[in-house]
Amino acid sequence: MPFVPSLLYRLFGINAGAGTKMSIQSVRTARKGRHAIGEGCILNCYFSFDRREAQITIGRNCFIGNSHLVAAEHLIIGNDVVISWDVTIVDHNSHSLDWKQRAKDVADWRQGNKVWTDIGIAPVRIDDNAWIGMGVTILKGVTIGRGAVVGAASVVTKDVAPFTAVAGNPARQIRDLLEQDRAT
């Protein structure tokens, strides 16, 4: 994946820390929103900012593979987080649960509008030292605790406790991480 030279980030309006490398797809999609990216990151992801006030915050020394971060409110990723490829993180339901409200979606989109009043939105937080495996989906309102591991192809609908491993659909705890496995 070709990376854009960091000197160009400011030209594109991207607030990225020193030593951060971003792929062309990351630069193209990040420049359309509000974000803060720490130093020393390697980003190959797509950013989607679904509302003007949406924000994505990424700590330092993070790796995010070819994945999709979707925010209507706020996604917060801590320091030293590893997110594999084909991961989707989204902080909203995208559509109302009421079919009468959804019936208007396509007509609204044709007019360039999206009505968010009946759509569930809650921030997502991934704490320091977490590892998110390939093909994972993390849904609105979830907090992934410090040092947690989410197994490949899991769907995370509830909070994950610090220093635990979860897997499955829906994701369930499969083990506690041993003391020697924990970052200090």
Listed in sequence order, the residues at least 6 apart from 105 whose beta carbon sits closer than 8 Å to its beta carbon are: 95, 114
The DSSP letter of residue 8 is G
172-176 and 46-49 strand pairing: unpaired
CA distance 41 to 22: 8
Residues involved in catalysis: 95
Contact 152, 133 (CB under 8 A): yes
Look at the chain and count its residues. Answer: 184
CA distance 8 to 104: 41
> Which phi and psi angles does 25 have, rounded to 5°?
-65, -35
Position of tokens 């420049």? 31
Q: Is the dihedral of CA 78, 92, 26, 10 positive or negative?
A: negative
